Amino acid sequence: MKTSSKLLNLIRQNKSFLIVGHINPEADSLGASLALSLGLKKLGKKDICVLSRDPVPETLRFLPSSRIVRQKPPAREFDVVFIVDCNEVKRTGFEGFRARKTAVIDHHVLPADAGTSEFYRSLSASLIDPDAAAAGLLVYRVLTALKVPLDKNIATNLYTAILTDTGGFRYSNASSESLKTAAHLIDAGAKPWDISKEVYESIPYKSMKLLGLSLSTLERNDGIAWINATQHMFDKTGTTAEDAEDFVDFPRKVKDTEVAVFFRQDGYNTYKLSLRSKGRVNVQKIAKSFGGGGHVAAAGCKINGTFTEVQAKVFSAIRKALKES
């Protein structure tokens, strides 16, 4: 697919770049950001900073150059800030950036106010494709359009990004483009088995203990399956929210489930929700109604209230969506 010449020229004509992903970074956000930084270096760009409000998760420290990720932005001004794998400044966890120009590389659905937003009007360039399987796929398009030679480190970051956001190429977004790109990345040096071991078979012991407690709460009703993780569970196992990444995939596996929900306690009477759909329901709309966002089949939001109150609100919205589907 053709990449915006405006975006390509923005890279060619500038010297310093700040690259930032979203809060609670996962493999797509980090892999895409790191690959972009490595690609820029191959173009001779020397002043590059990769930024994340939250630290790199333990399970993703194998990503090449993950050690360069900073949690505080440098005091100096950059020519360009790239916002990767999210399309709103607030999702980065920072209030703003010292950069003369701003660009977005993302595959999420745009906010409802995008057409009138000052932020979007002020963008110097963007590559936003909600149909793309991963932000890593978009960075791949950018780097190949710039004729950047892909090495093992870039390929590993991009392959990991695409692998995880397609659920190991199992989800409905596993398009022919994502599979062809993965094949090219393997040819460039990515090692599928080594990456899969790191992503899927290197879960910390304490995370597995937390998963066991969380799975003991499994319930299902009316095409909905769900689990939860309370603060008590985190305290008991010595874990954090990072250790609960992808827990929602387990209730999703339950037969005859249309929508899966993972309720994670995130403070007193506050819950962070992960929603997954098998196709009938657009969970992005449900998440959006609670101030969240995401994709048609994978989304999230945060809701205040007691666990019972939060469940009632979410289940009501899901059942309504199921009836309308």
The structural domains of the chain, with segments of one domain joined by +, span 5-200, 206-324
Question: Could you tell me which of 134, 139, 140 has the C-alpha nearest to residue 175?
Answer: 134
DSSP 45-78: --EEEEE-SSPPPGGGTTSTTGGG-BSS--SS-E
What pLDDT was estimated at residue 168? 95
Question: Could you tell me which of 309, 311, 280 has the C-alpha nearest to residue 297?
Answer: 280
Residue-level pLDDT, tens digit, the chain, 325 residues? 668 899 999 999 999 999 999 999 999 999 999 999 999 999 999 999 999 999 999 999 999 999 999 999 999 999 999 999 999 899 999 998 999 999 999 999 887 777 778 888 899 999 999 999 999 999 999 999 999 999 999 999 999 999 999 999 999 899 999 999 999 999 999 999 999 999 999 999 999 999 999 999 999 999 999 999 999 999 999 999 999 989 999 999 999 999 999 999 999 999 999 999 999 999 999 999 999 988 899 999 999 999 999 999 999 999 999 999 8
CA distances from 23 to 30, 54, 128, 263 (A): 11, 6, 19, 18
What pLDDT was estimated at residue 202? 93
Could you tell me whether strands 219-221 and 224-229 are parallel, antiparallel, or unpaired per DSSP bridges? antiparallel
What pLDDT was estimated at residue 4? 84
What pLDDT was estimated at residue 1? 66
DSSP 232-251: HHHHHHT--GGGGTTTTHHH
Whether domain 5-200 has CATH 3.90.1640.10: the reply is yes
CA distances from 209 to 156, 212, 213, 275 (A): 29, 5, 7, 22
Backbone angles phi, psi at 275, to 5 degrees: -120, 135
What pLDDT was estimated at residue 118? 85
Domain 206-324 - what CATH class?
alpha beta
